[in-house]
Structure 1
Amino acid sequence: MRQNTLGRGEVRVSGLSFGSAGIGNLYTPVEPDQAAAAVDAAWDAGIRYFDTAPHYGLGLAERRVGEALRSRPRADYTLSTKVGRLLEPLPFADGDDLDNGFAVRATHRRVWDFSADGVARSIDDSLKRLGTDRIDMVYLHDPDHHLAEALGQAYPALERLRAEGVVGAIGAGMNQTAALTRFLRDTDVDVVLCAGRYTLLDQSALTELLPEAAERGKSVIVGGVFNSGLLADPRPGQTYDYAAAPPALLERALRIKSVAERHGVPLRAAAIAYPLRHPAVASVLVGTRSPGEVQDAAHMYGLTVPDALWDDLRAEGLLEGGVR
């Protein structure tokens, strides 16, 4: 599988990467053996970049990723996690965490913290959960409503850790483009993780974010390429950005699927391939929860998508622009 270097640094990522929210019991439980098998399947497919976060299952995803990778040579893969939400233990584990999207016991509460001390504590906690001696890449996680603190305290803390060699690359991960573009302009991040804003249904990252990254020699990891389900399997009742898909978007997704199938390309393959055409995009991050889902994503990644498909999508007004 193709490997790319982030920005002007030395951290490398595979073109397809493993998102661990699913094995952190996103929405529904995943058995431990299935979680481990999903990571094993990713490794067997050539995936060498694994992303996680304390938020995912109140630390469950970090523990599962760390355990599944423990027997692998540490120099052979890239591991990222995120800061901004500290996990504070609760005196009583009463109820579940489904209000936050995860089918786990509510053993902890999340506390927003983008202070320098919060960054240090979060990384220390993540190292323990992951069972590793280093993290290759750290993102500021969803600092949308905490930008002043994130820019003024958390980012400088990450910059110091990078300078000291504690982490190899730093960045920010969000579901919007405006603040990520600001991080590219106003800081020296290596990478930004942009979820859902550079897909076959939403090319808003093309307006400022991607040109800014390309001009500054920074990298973009693209997540949410299926827009939470609609581009994986467009049908009535499917979700778009974690809510019921509006009828107009469902119709658009079905039209895109029809064009792709005329070229013999599954819609999932087109959804994965599209972001990777931009020179600033280093990897597509796909959330998977089983070996079968991993194998399917890897197969879709490996399929050839002809240029004529993109031409036809533009001709039918289904693709706003992008790299030819």
Structure 2
Amino acid sequence: MAFRAELRPLSPGPVGDVALRDDLGLGCAPIGNLYTPVADDDAVATVRAALDDGVRFFDTAPHYGAGESERRLGLALQGVPRDDYVIATKVGRRIVDAAGDPVAGSASGHDTVADLSRDGVLRSLEASLARLRTDRIDLLHLHDPLDVDAGLAGAMTALVELRDQGVVRAIGVGMGRLAPLIRFAAEAPVDVIMEAGRLTLLDRTAEDELLPLTASRGIGVIAAGVYNTGILVAPQTAPYYEYKPAPPELVARALALQDACRAHGVELATAAARFPLRHGAEGVVIGARTPTEVAAFVHGHDVRIPDALWSELDRIAAPGTAVS
């Protein structure tokens, strides 16, 4: 699979001897201080490492670091021809300061709050363009719109207008909850759905209804959260699932997946990152905060995974089951 045309660079430019990664994106939540602070220089080095390794799709949001992820991504991409890369960002949340008041202009803040209004979308996009130091966004997602009716009536109307006007190339919805995603896929004229954590080695519930629906409507699927927040990278030392300690049964399944991968000389994280591409996703977005982390997931993308391992992982993971 590969990102559809609207999500690929207009002119990717030379990448030397490195392959262009047309189904792999860098998730920029980590450079927005997710879990731990990140210095500007380190964030820039991470983005540049991704570029050097052929990655041209960058996913960010105002919510990531209350503006810091966008600001740092914009800083890192300065001097790179705009047609050489793709930026995906999001709307639907308003940046606020420590007192809960909206920040002025393109400033970073303390937190974000939901804002699914049409005007909120337009204000958010204007501020994102300034933080990213660019004149256009390629893919604009509605971010975690739990109130589907409000999102359809307000934010989505603005997204459609922006696409029709050529301000953005494509529009979508990004979140980890299936029921709202299914409604948006069924009722909104989106180009792309970004699901987070519902198409993984441990939770394949997107296959039940979401993937058949998106396929029938010609909607692309981008997979995020492929590690389920840690357990599919290091089930022994970081057994976290959906941002909290995983239950023992889930840890046991993850350890069994890891054992199967090791028996075939493959890292669990490598199989986890590749899994969605075998099951309907046209691209995968993976977060990183250092060049070393970038190298790990990019180079893992080239590892050969035998069919026998996939069969074993399918057997262990109990396809179609969700874990609470």
In structure 2, how many angstroms separate the alpha carbons of the residues matched to 1:107 and 1:45? 32
The 3 A distance-change label for structure 1 pair 92 and 282 is closer
In structure 1, how many angstroms separate the alpha carbons of the residues matched to 2:112 and 2:176? 19
In structure 2, how many angstroms separate the alpha carbons of the residues matched to 1:200 and 1:278? 11
In structure 1, how many angstroms separate the alpha carbons of the residues matched to 2:284 and 2:111? 30
The answer (yes or no) to whether the contact 2:67–2:109 under 8 Å persists in 1 is no
1:181: Cα distance to partner? 1.4
| Structure 1 position 11 matched with structure 2 position 13 | no
1:240: Cα distance to partner? 0.9
AA matched with 2:47 = V
Superposition TM-score, scaled by structure 2 size: 0.89
Question: What residue is the counterpart of 2:270 in the other structure?
Answer: 269
In structure 1, how many angstroms separate the alpha carbons of the residues matched to 2:64 and 2:116? 18
Question: What residue is the counterpart of 1:318 in the other structure?
Answer: 317
Matches within 5 A, 1:94-113: 107-113=109-115
- Which of residues 17, 21, 31 in structure 2 aligns to 1:23? 31
1:12: Cα distance to partner? 2.2
Question: What residue is the counterpart of 1:305 in the other structure?
Answer: 305
Unaligned runs of 5+ in 2: 10-21, 102-107
What is the RMSD computed on CA atoms of the aligned residues?
A: 2.1
In structure 1, how many angstroms separate the alpha carbons of the residues matched to 2:114 and 2:152? 14
> For 1:60-97, what per-residue CA distance to the aligned partner results, in whole angstroms no more than 9, with x for missing partners?
0000001101211111111011111111345799xxxx
Q: Secondary structure at the match of 2:63?
A: coil
- Which of residues 133, 142, 146 in structure 2 aligns to 1:131? 133
In structure 2, how many angstroms separate the alpha carbons of the residues matched to 1:254 and 1:91? 44
Superposition TM-score, scaled by structure 1 size: 0.89
Q: Secondary structure at the match of 2:168?
A: coil
Q: Secondary structure at the match of 1:289?
A: coil
1:319: Cα distance to partner? 3.9
In structure 2, how many angstroms separate the alpha carbons of the residues matched to 1:107 and 1:41? 27
The 3 A distance-change label for structure 1 pair 222 and 237 is closer
> For 1:34-70, what per-residue CA distance to the aligned partner results, in whole angstroms no more than 9, with x for missing partners?
1111001111111110011111111000000011012
Question: What residue is the counterpart of 1:234 in the other structure?
Answer: 235
| Structure 1 position 33 matched with structure 2 position 41 | yes
1:200: Cα distance to partner? 0.3
| Structure 1 position 283 matched with structure 2 position 278 | no
Deviates more, 1:298-307 or 1:121-130: 298-307
> For 1:167-225, what per-residue CA distance to the aligned partner results, in whole angstroms no more than 9, with x for missing partners?
00001011111211111111110001100111000001000111111121111111111
Q: Secondary structure at the match of 1:4?
A: coil
AA matched with 1:72 = V
Q: Secondary structure at the match of 1:248?
A: helix
Deviates more, 1:211-220 or 1:290-299: 211-220
The answer (yes or no) to whether the contact 2:148–2:184 under 8 Å persists in 1 is no
1:238: Cα distance to partner? 2.2
In structure 2, how many angstroms separate the alpha carbons of the residues matched to 1:59 and 1:286? 19
In structure 1, how many angstroms separate the alpha carbons of the residues matched to 2:260 and 2:53? 28
Matches within 5 A, 1:122-271: 122-144=124-146, 146-235=147-236, 238-271=239-272
The answer (yes or no) to whether the contact 2:65–2:111 under 8 Å persists in 1 is no
The answer (yes or no) to whether the contact 1:92–1:107 under 8 Å persists in 2 is no
The answer (yes or no) to whether the contact 1:237–1:245 under 8 Å persists in 2 is no
In structure 2, how many angstroms separate the alpha carbons of the residues matched to 1:203 and 1:91? 40
In structure 1, how many angstroms separate the alpha carbons of the residues matched to 2:55 and 2:133? 20
Q: Secondary structure at the match of 1:15?
A: strand
In structure 2, how many angstroms separate the alpha carbons of the residues matched to 1:88 and 1:189? 28
In structure 2, how many angstroms separate the alpha carbons of the residues matched to 1:237 and 1:67? 31
1:306: Cα distance to partner? 1.3
AA matched with 2:55 = I
1:321: Cα distance to partner? 6.2
1:149: Cα distance to partner? 1.2
| Structure 1 position 76 matched with structure 2 position 120 | no
Question: What residue is the counterpart of 1:96 in the other structure?
Answer: none
